[in-house]
Amino acid sequence: LEPARLGQFHPHGDLGDAPLTAVLLFPRDAKAKALLAGRLGRRDGVRVIRPDQVVDQLAGLVLKLRRLFDAHQALAAVSTALFMVLVIGLGLRARAAELRALVDVGASRAAVFTLQLTEWSLIALLAVAVAAAGVALGAWWLPDPQRWT
């Protein structure tokens, strides 16, 4: 209400039945804010909520969740990289006799290296294609996040 129209305001009915659940107060300075919080904080059934504190708490929670998701993503990336190193290492160990046989029949080490590099490049390309297909399928299947708001 504007101060000039405050005299025109009059409630209809019993004030105890009024559905008043909140009051917005705008103190003029820090001292008035502290006095008002002190006076209202002592009353039973009255809670003083400062929007700036609520927003700060929510922002802190969001940042903590972001750090958690970032740590999870980093852990997944490291474990995937270690798994790939393990697969490549075991593959090389399992095919060591075959690679030695290629060198024994006259293939140069460069040719053997090129053969292995081509093989692992194709595997990596296939992995990227499968990942891209998964992302495309997820984007098609999941609802649009713009409609969540």
CB 40 within 8 A of CB 46: yes
pTM of structure: 0.53
pLDDT at 146 over 60: yes
Candidate from 5-9, 49-53, 107-111, 112-116 with smallest mean pLDDT? 5-9
* pLDDT level of residue 25 (50, 70, 90 thresholds): confident
Distance in angstroms (rounded) separating the CA atoms of residues 48 and 21: 12
DSSP 8-state class, residue 25 = -
Distance in angstroms (rounded) separating the CA atoms of residues 9 and 148: 40
- Does residue 145 sit in helix, strand or coil? helix
CB 100 within 8 A of CB 93: no
Phi/psi at 43 (5° precision): -85, 140
pLDDT at 19 over 90: no
